[in-house]
Structure 1
Amino acid sequence: MAGDKRVVRTDLWISDAFDERLKREPGVSLRVFPVRGNTAAAWDILSSAHVYHVSAAKDELPQEWFARADLLARCPDLLLVSSSGAGYDTVDVAACTAAGIAVVNQAGGNAVSVAEHTLGLMLGVSRRMLEGDRRMRREVGYSREDVMGHEIHGKTVGLVGIGHIGTRVAALARAFGMEVIATDPFLSPEEIARRGARAVSFQELLAQSDFVSLHCPRDASTLKMMNADTFARMKKGAIFITTARGGIHDETALVQALRSGHLAGAGLDVWDQEPPPLDHPLLAKDNVFATFHVAGVTHECRSNVAAISAEQIAGVLRGERPPRLVNPEVWPAFEQRRARILG
């Protein structure tokens, strides 16, 4: 209806908690558009949006619905782009900023689930659980010692990034009796210590860690951060873990590091292409524990992220500054546009 603050989302799956929360917000209407099959109907809904809650899944959302400059130009009243996850690969933040549009994500909402998954990958690779499972299904008569692994107790885990997820991983790792070190360019050594790790440089982390685990965003500074050179700088026999984003590690270089025996294994939840092709060389290796970007895909996490997404949107529409603002420099221009568009 006229005068409503209009929130729009795609018809991709989302927890009911999102819709339920916004239905309780006075003066807010919610509409859902189809990402496939009826482009005209989709644009009819999206073009009048004040808020676009966009899927963060870059390989599930058709690219025409990414929040890029061409889409923004067709949505003159758009004030806020809300990513459905901690990442925002489907959002051109610079284009939004230039247009006076705020961008928010849901950082921290997935921390418990992703941290638990990280420890699961560490245990699965170190204890060779996946290898044992596969052999039990195809062989009888092999020795248990053929799949003998290692404890993680007493080992060192190096966290590349110690934000919401990294901090939770640090706590879980310490509970297992591990030493935790971390590097994070945005935090002081004192803050890293407060979050449960000893601060080191990136090069020191590679050299000292039995496990290197990525918890950093994918951007220009981190793209292909883990490459042939950095894998070679890891300890021989170390294990590489990532629940961050595809593209931060070079998949071809990782294959070579595993084939050479320099690395003992890898636990991978994120990929250049998701899901990866069935003939991907990493999927052929028994010492690779592979999952399909599911670290944050739990009932609890999806419900929590949907709820905090809706709460953050409701707050912005009431005039509040959001707690997870990706582009804080946009705020003065955003407030001017909000006053003009919403009154």
Structure 2
Amino acid sequence: MTATGKRVVRSDLWISPAFDERLARESDISLAVFPIEGNDPLGRDLLAAAHVYHISAAKDELPQQWFARAELLSRCPDLLCVSAGGAGYDTVDVAACTAAGVAVVNQAGGNAVSVAEHTLGFMLGVSRRMLEGDRRMRREIGYTREDVMGREIRGKTVGLVGIGHIGTRVASLARAFGMEVIATDPFLSLDEIARRGAKAVSFDDLLAQSDFVSLHCPRDAGTLKLMNAKAFARMKKGAIFITTARGGIHDEAALVDALRSGHIAGAGIDVWDQEPPPLDHPLLAMDNVYATFHTAGVTHEARRNVAAIGAEQIVGLLRGERPPRLVNPEVWPAYEKRRARLFS
């Protein structure tokens, strides 16, 4: 095998230099970068020879011809792994990868601190009406402070839909603010949810009991439109909805209706069906909606951490180690056979 026998390919979308720096320390790994626009033949050629494709997880930034779908996989006979550059993998067809014997890994947990802090920022900002106060200060004089009077979060109940890396961190921060934490997670036992700092409840009970409902679950067939009109109606009147998960888990039109009716007091929204959302989106016109552009995990610290652990996971995987963040574990026997054949 040559000194650059193991080939990693990524696009030219921004990534922390920590990724390239870590791979550069491996003498048997080469890294190639293709432009997402302007030279498709180069991208196709590089991917056709790649062993690992480190793919952007940003579905509205990466052109769809570079998504890891069956058509692209069919042109990449040596591809062993698709490595998503974040906790999510919206740009990856996991089933198609599994069928092709391609491992899929993500970087779950790499940005947990940043997303959890953002979640608490939403909770504080919406409940204390900070954004409303800021906007009114900039456009009018004559209103009273009581006109933007908010509420403390101490003593309130936050319901976490999903308590993985991020949800566990949110639970810890929420308890530090004196909040009660409840959670639902179909992948965890009641004891494990308790160990992670929350009281386990059903989804319906969570909606009925929570002053804040905060989403921390993956986007998949089982969670699409999980927060629909019926779910918002089951929430406590005056509650606040928070999501830093993925667009599509909440029904945006249903949320607009719940806010307009006054049933939901406010919302903190970081993820959208279309990112960024159009400027005329009705949620952006509401002063009780704190809106951000999928930036909960976009901090200097989180981006460096995600890039570093992504590169480290690729290095280990190419050495033959089972990756710690394997999305499709059922592929592993087929992956090992393909890896042995390629690197024998």
Question: TM-score with structure 2 length normalisation?
Answer: 0.99
Listed one character per residue, the Cα deviations across residues 293-332 of structure 1 (whole Å, up to 9, x for unaligned) are: 0000000000000000000000000110000000000000
What is the DSSP-based 3-state SS (H/G/I as helix, E as strand, rest coil) of the residue aligned with 1:26? coil
Higher alpha-carbon deviation: 78-87 or 33-42: 33-42
Whether the 8 Å CA contact 2:4–2:27 is kept in 1: the answer is no
Change (3 A) 1:56 1:222: same
Listed one character per residue, the Cα deviations across residues 232-256 of structure 1 (whole Å, up to 9, x for unaligned) are: 0000000000000000000000000
Amino acid at match of 2:231: T
Listed one character per residue, the Cα deviations across residues 200-233 of structure 1 (whole Å, up to 9, x for unaligned) are: 0000000000000000000000000000000000
Listed one character per residue, the Cα deviations across residues 6-59 of structure 1 (whole Å, up to 9, x for unaligned) are: 000000000000000000013000000111001111112111000000000000
Amino acid at match of 2:50: A
Residue 93 of structure 1: CA displacement? 0.3
Give the alignment of 1:33-72 within 5 angstroms: 33-72=34-73
Q: Percent identity?
A: 83
Match of 1:298 in 2: 299
Between the aligned partners of 1:175 and 1:246, the Cα distance in structure 2 is 28
Matched length: 343
Change (3 A) 1:27 1:2: closer
Residue 142 of structure 1: CA displacement? 1.0
Match of 2:201 in 1: 200
Give the alignment of 1:255-334 within 5 angstroms: 255-334=256-335
Between the aligned partners of 1:174 and 1:3, the Cα distance in structure 2 is 50
Amino acid at match of 2:289: V
User: Please, which runs of 5 or more residues in structure 2 have no aligned partner?
Assistant: none
Listed one character per residue, the Cα deviations across residues 127-148 of structure 1 (whole Å, up to 9, x for unaligned) are: 0000000000001121000000
Amino acid at match of 2:201: V
Detail structure 1 runs of 4+ shifted over 4 Å in the superposition: none
Match of 1:106 in 2: 107
What is the DSSP-based 3-state SS (H/G/I as helix, E as strand, rest coil) of the residue aligned with 2:10? strand
Between the aligned partners of 1:20 and 1:294, the Cα distance in structure 2 is 24
Whether the 8 Å CA contact 2:53–2:82 is kept in 1: the answer is yes
Between the aligned partners of 2:254 and 2:85, the Cα distance in structure 1 is 31
Residue 2 of structure 1: CA displacement? 7.1
Between the aligned partners of 1:2 and 1:51, the Cα distance in structure 2 is 16
Match of 1:149 in 2: 150
RMSD value, Cα: 0.7
What is the DSSP-based 3-state SS (H/G/I as helix, E as strand, rest coil) of the residue aligned with 1:53? strand
Amino acid at match of 1:32: V
Match of 1:29 in 2: 30
Match of 1:134 in 2: 135
What is the DSSP-based 3-state SS (H/G/I as helix, E as strand, rest coil) of the residue aligned with 1:212? strand
Whether the 8 Å CA contact 2:184–2:206 is kept in 1: the answer is yes
Give the alignment of 1:176-191 within 5 angstroms: 176-191=177-192
Match of 1:86 in 2: 87
What is the DSSP-based 3-state SS (H/G/I as helix, E as strand, rest coil) of the residue aligned with 2:204? helix
Match of 1:235 in 2: 236
